[in-house]
Amino acid sequence: MTTLHVDPEAIKPLLRDLGQGPTRGRSLTREEARQALDAILDGRATPAQAGAFLLLQRYKGETPDELLGFVDAVRGRASTRPLRPQVDGLLDIGSPYDGRLRSIVISPAASIVAAACGAPVLMHGERDVPPKHGLTVGDVLDALGAPTGLPPDAVERSIEELGIGYLRQERFAPDLASIRWLREEIALRSPLNMVEKIYDPANAPYHLVGLTHVPYLEKLGGALAGMGFRKTAVVQGLEGNEDLPTNRAARAIEFTTTNEGEAVKREYRLNAADFGLTAATADDLAIGADDAGRPTAERSARLSVEALRGEASPAGRDLVLFNAGFRVYLAGRADDIGSGIARAREAVESGAAFEVLERWRGFA
Q: Going along the chain, which residue ranges are E strands?
A: 91-94, 121-125, 164-168, 206-210, 231-235, 250-257, 263-270
Residues 52 and 164 in one domain: no
Task: Please give the pLDDT value at position 66.
Answer: 95
Decide: 261 and 254 in contact? Cβ < 8 Å: no
Taking Cα atoms as reference points, which of 342, 353, 334 lies closest to residue 163? Answer: 353
- For residue 361, give the H/E element and its range: helix 352-361
Is 5 inside any structural domain? no
Total count of domains within the chain: 2
Q: Is residue 46 part of a domain?
A: yes
pLDDT at 162: 98
What's the pLDDT at 24? 79
The domain in which residue 245 lies consists of 91-361
Residues 103, 27 share a domain: no
User: What pLDDT does 67 receive?
Assistant: 94
Same domain, 190 and 287: yes
249 exposed, middle or buried (CB, 10 Å; 0-12, 13-18, 19+)?
A: middle
Mean pLDDT of 30-47: 96
Residue 66 lies in a domain: no
Pair (29, 138) in one structural domain: no
- Compute CA 254 distance to the chain's CA centroid, rounded to the nearest angstrom: 15
| 65, 149, 359 from 207: Cα distances, Å | 19, 22, 25
Q: How would you classify the pairing of strands 231-235 and 250-257?
A: antiparallel
Mark whether 230 and 345 lie in a shared domain. yes
Is the whole model's pTM more than 0.85, yes or no?
Answer: yes
Whether residues 347 and 236 fall in one domain: yes
Taking the C-alpha atoms of residue 113 and residue 326, their distance in angstroms, rounded to an integer, is: 11
The residue among 200, 282, 225, 243 whose CA lies nearest residue 114 is 243
Same domain? For 48 and 190 the reply is no
Measured between alpha carbons, how far is 319 from 303 in angstroms, rounded to an integer? 10
Domain membership flag for residue 25? yes
> Is the per-residue pLDDT at 1 higher than 60?
no
Q: With respect to residue 106, please indicate whether it lies within any of the assigned structural domains.
A: yes
CA dist., res. 136 & res. 193, Å (int): 14
Question: Residue 109 pLDDT > 90, yes or no?
Answer: yes
Within this chain, do residues 113 and 250 fall inside the same structural domain, yes or no? yes
- What phi and psi, each to the nearest 5 degrees, are found at residue 68? -65, -40
**What would the DSSP string read from start to end of 130-153?**
TTT--B-HHHHHHHHT------HH
Burial class (CB in 10 A: 0-12, 13-18, 19+), 251: middle
Same domain assignment for residues 346 and 244: yes
Report, as an integer, the average pLDDT of 29-52.
96
Share of the chain above pLDDT 90, in %: 83
* 67 domain residue, yes or no: no
The answer to which of 39-53, 104-118, 204-218, 261-275 has the lowest mean pLDDT is 204-218
The answer on pLDDT for 218 being more than 90 is no
Picking from 188, 307, 200, 192, the residue whose alpha carbon sits closest to that of residue 243 is 307
pLDDT in tens, 162-181: 999 999 999 999 999 999 99
Q: How confident is the model over 114-138, as a mean pLDDT?
A: 96
Q: Give me the percent of the chain exceeding a pLDDT of 70.
A: 98
Q: What is the pLDDT of residue 211?
A: 86
83 found inside a domain? no
Shared-domain flag, residues 117 and 21 = no
Q: Please check whether residue 161 lies inside any domain of the structure.
A: yes
pLDDT tier, 215 (very low <50, low <70, confident <90, very high otherwise): low
The answer to whether residues 200 and 285 belong to one domain is yes
Q: Do 18 and 95 share a domain, yes or no?
A: no
List, for residues 285-327, the tens digit of each pLDDT value. 999 999 888 999 999 999 999 999 999 999 999 999 999 999 9
CATH of the domain at 302: 3.40.1030.10
